[in-house]
């Protein structure tokens, strides 16, 4: 008889196996989960942690704060302020044009222009949207929560004195790198060294936590100039007023400390606003004309003709020179005294009356070498080495064969070219008893172990005579002028007027007007040079155009520097007859 299992028993066994299969499957699944957790936490933990960190932890540059530029009294002339730059990843930007328009409105851009920029950069991962925004405005842009839009901190250069110091300081570009002037010349000193840090950013690219500093940034160093911003403002104001009044082509003024060669003020016209360079249409306005532009110094050079004359031993201040009849033939050319016949005059009167004939006769009697040697010793034909970019040397004639007319005209400032700074340096030698000091734009730039650098290039006894003669040029009792140039202060100086070279030679209608001098004459504190290029109108002589600017700057400087008066003179109106 066959044994067979009843149906109920068969069903029970089948169900039992199914339950075991389920438990086995659950156990395997649990083991798999445990194993995965084990591998994630212990085997791949460091790798996965690094991958996660890479999506939130970033290495960011730490911008180096550019050093300040200050004047001799610590007044800030250039500072860097924090700003924000909005940038975008075009690949992450919303395809909705409405979002792009919202972004354009937030950053103050034309919407069509921004859309076009995004399309042009569609395959890139970085583009600037707007640079140098105020941080509060940048936060408002980020608050729009637009995908692919980020911000980062930068610095923007600010110049408190604006166009007053523009030519001296120059400017830095949008990346805070020096481009002109002191900003360029001392860029390595000012720029510092960037650092690096680790930060955690949110999905908007904003830093929510700083983890650590990898390399600290080294900020740029403060640069202290020899400028006195009070004198800089004074010189700028007075020069600009004359420049506008005379409708001149350009103008420059330089003020030196007579004692050590430091530049106290240097200004030019036209100037520019360093904060709005995009509005500049005349790029000549960017030039620091006091060091880049050359001109023939005219009668201001007669001072050094007098030095050569006294140095030769053939002349003193009272030596007579016959200038009759006011016109002298030199080779095939003529030298004149502006249609005047001064007759027989002294060496001192050569400067007071500014006689071309007397100056020419001295030079012809001495020959070209003595005069040229004096000019080289006081700095003509050599770079002042002040450190300004674009500084020019000028032209010192060195003819193989010197013709008489070349010797004659050199004696009254033709055939040689100089910058305003070079002329100021030359006159500082006169003011400083024959000692030539290097020119510097840095405070205490010429101090070496407590001593001021300098070299005796002209004998003190020679200089003393020339100093007396230069006092006479602006002394009302000698020159015949109506009043003192700078009331209550003794002054020494020389005017100059030179014709300008045009397409067909010297143009009788165009002139440069100059004045170079120092004050107080008995104990010089400052040397001032004024050059007004091509003033318009009937007045063109240095005594009419440049000397009044010198007077106003020198008068204001004496008060600002608290220099005690050394001469009692109640008059306050200046008219000079010496030209």
* Burial of 88 per CB tally in 10 Å (0-12, 13-18, 19+): buried
Q: Of 101, 74, 103, 71, nearest to 88 (Cα)?
A: 103
DSSP code for 298: G
**CA-to-CA distance for 99 and 101, rounded, in angstroms?**
5
Q: Could you list the beta-strand ranges (E) of 91-148.
A: 127-133
Q: Catalytic pick from 250, 299, 355, 513?
A: 299
Contact 316, 347 (CB under 8 A): yes
299 catalytic per annotation: yes
Residues in the chain, overall count: 579
Query: Half-sphere exposure (CA, 13 Å, Cβ side) for 274?
Result: 28
Q: How many CB atoms lie within 10 A of CB 53?
A: 13
- State how beta strands 57-62 and 195-201 pair: antiparallel
Q: Of 517, 507, 510, nearest to 546 (Cα)?
A: 517
DSSP code for 222: P
**CA-to-CA distance for 495 and 417, rounded, in angstroms?**
16
* Burial of 54 per CB tally in 10 Å (0-12, 13-18, 19+): exposed
Q: Of 256, 293, 567, 317, nearest to 461 (Cα)?
A: 317
Q: What sign has the CA pseudo-torsion 464, 479, 550, 339?
A: negative
Contact 290, 421 (CB under 8 A): yes
DSSP code for 534: S
**CA-to-CA distance for 259 and 133, rounded, in angstroms?**
46
Query: Half-sphere exposure (CA, 13 Å, Cβ side) for 72?
Result: 19
Which residues on adjacent β-strands are paired with residue 267?
253
Which residues have CB under 8 Å from 13's CB, separation 6+?
A: none
Q: From residue 159, give the alpha-carbon distance in Å to each of 102, 190, 272, 430.
A: 33, 15, 12, 35
Supply the residues annotated as catalytic.
Answer: 299
């Amino acid at each position: 008889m066959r044994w067979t299992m009843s149906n109920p028993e068969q069903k029970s066994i089948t169900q039992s196996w199914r339950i075991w299969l389920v438990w086995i499957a659950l156990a395997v699944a649990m083991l798999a989960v445990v194993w995965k957790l084990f591998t994630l936490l212990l085997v791949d933990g460091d790798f996965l942690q690094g991958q996660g960190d890479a999506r939130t932890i970033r290495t960011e540059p730490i911008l180096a704060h550019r050093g300040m530029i200050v004047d001799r009294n610590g007044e800030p002339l250039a500072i860097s302020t924090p700003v924000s730059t909005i940038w975008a990843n075009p690949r992450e930007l919303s395809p909705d044009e409405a979002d792009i328009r919202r972004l354009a409105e937030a950053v103050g851009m034309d919407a069509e222009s921004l859309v076009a920029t995004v399309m042009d950069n569609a395959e890139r991962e970085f583009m600037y949207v707007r640079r140098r925004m105020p941080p509060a405005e940048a936060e408002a842009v980020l608050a729009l929560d637009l995908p692919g839009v980020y911000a980062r901190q930068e610095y923007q250069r600010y110049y408190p004195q604006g166009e007053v110091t523009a030519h001296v300081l120059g400017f830095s570009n949008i990346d805070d790198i020096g481009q002109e002037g002191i900003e360029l010349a001392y860029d390595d000193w000012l720029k510092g060294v960037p650092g690096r840090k680790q930060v955690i950013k949110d999905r908007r690219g904003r830093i929510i936590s700083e983890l650590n500093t990898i390399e600290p940034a080294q900020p740029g160093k403060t640069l202290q100039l020899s400028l006195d911003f009070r004198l800089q403002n004074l010189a700028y104001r007075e020069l600009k007023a004359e420049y506008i009044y005379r409708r001149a082509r350009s103008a420059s003024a330089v003020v030196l400390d007579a004692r050590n060669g430091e530049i106290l003020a240097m200004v030019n016209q036209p100037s520019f606003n360093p904060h709005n360079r995009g509005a500049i249409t005349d790029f000549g306005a960017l030039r620091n004309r006091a060091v880049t532009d050359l001109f023939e110094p005219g009668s201001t050079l007669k001072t050094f003709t007098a030095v050569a004359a006294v140095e030769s031993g053939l002349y003193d201040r009272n030596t007579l020179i016959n200038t009759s009849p006011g016109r002298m033939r030199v080779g095939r050319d003529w030298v004149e005294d502006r249609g005047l016949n001064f007759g027989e005059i002294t060496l001192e009167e050569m400067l007071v009356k500014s006689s071309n004939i007397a100056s020419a006769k001295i030079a012809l009697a001495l020959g070209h070498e003595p005069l040229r040697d004096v000019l080289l010793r006081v700095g003509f034909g050599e770079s002042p080495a002040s450190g300004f970019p674009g500084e020019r040397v000028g032209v010192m004639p060195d003819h193989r064969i010197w013709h008489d007319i070349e010797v004659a005209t050199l004696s009254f400032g033709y055939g040689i070219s100089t910058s305003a700074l070079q002329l100021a340096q030359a006159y500082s030698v006169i003011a400083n008893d024959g000692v030539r000091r290097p020119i510097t734009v840095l405070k205490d730039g010429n101090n070496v172990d407590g001593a001021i650098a300098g070299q005796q290039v002209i004998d003190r006894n020679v200089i003393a005579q020339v100093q007396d003669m230069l006092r006479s040029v602006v002394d009302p009792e000698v020159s015949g002028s109506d009043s003192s140039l700078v009331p209550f202060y003794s002054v020494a100086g020389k005017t100059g007027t030179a014709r300008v070279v045009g397409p067909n030679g010297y143009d009788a209608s165009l002139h440069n007007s100059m004045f170079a001098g120092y004050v107080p004459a008995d104990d010089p504190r400052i040397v001032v040079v004024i050059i007004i290029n091509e003033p318009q109108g009937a007045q063109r002589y240095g005594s009419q155009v440049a000397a009044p600017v010198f007077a106003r700057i020198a008068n204001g400087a004496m008060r600002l520097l608290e220099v005690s008066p050394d001469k009692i003179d109640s008059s306050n109106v200046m008219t000079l007859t010496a030209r």
